[in-house]
Amino acid sequence: MKIARTFTIDHSLYCELKKRKNQSATVEAALRNWIHDSEYIDLTPIPSERLLLELRKRMIINKELYLALCLQLPSSSSKEPSS
């Protein structure tokens, strides 16, 4: 069963949406994806160096893997933690 609702959206979003063939299906798919994705923790705001340090501190990765991953970072400024 489908229901009709009215929502306020930004004008630029409206302009993009009106280019779509089936606007309702587009909105429904976007909302379903958003609801599904919101169940997971987004790690993108965490800098790579900080993430590696946390993994190392929790002993999830060993020293060798930590150092190898640090070498792959664009700015290999990470140093071995003192633990």
**pLDDT value, residue 38:** 64
DSSP 40: S
**pLDDT value, residue 79:** 54
Q: Give yes or no for residue 82 having a pLDDT over 80.
A: no
Nearest to 2 by CA among 19, 21, 25: 25
The predicted-structure confidence for 5-58, as pLDDT tens digits, reads as follows 898 999 999 999 999 999 999 999 988 888 877 666 666 678 888 888 888 888
Higher pLDDT, 54 or 75: 54
Confirm if 58 and 82 have CB atoms less than 8 A apart.
no
How many C-beta atoms lie closer than 10 Å to residue 72's C-beta?
A: 9
Structure tokens at 28: 């429904």
pTM over the 0.85 mark? no
Q: Give yes or no for residue 77 having a pLDDT over 60.
A: no
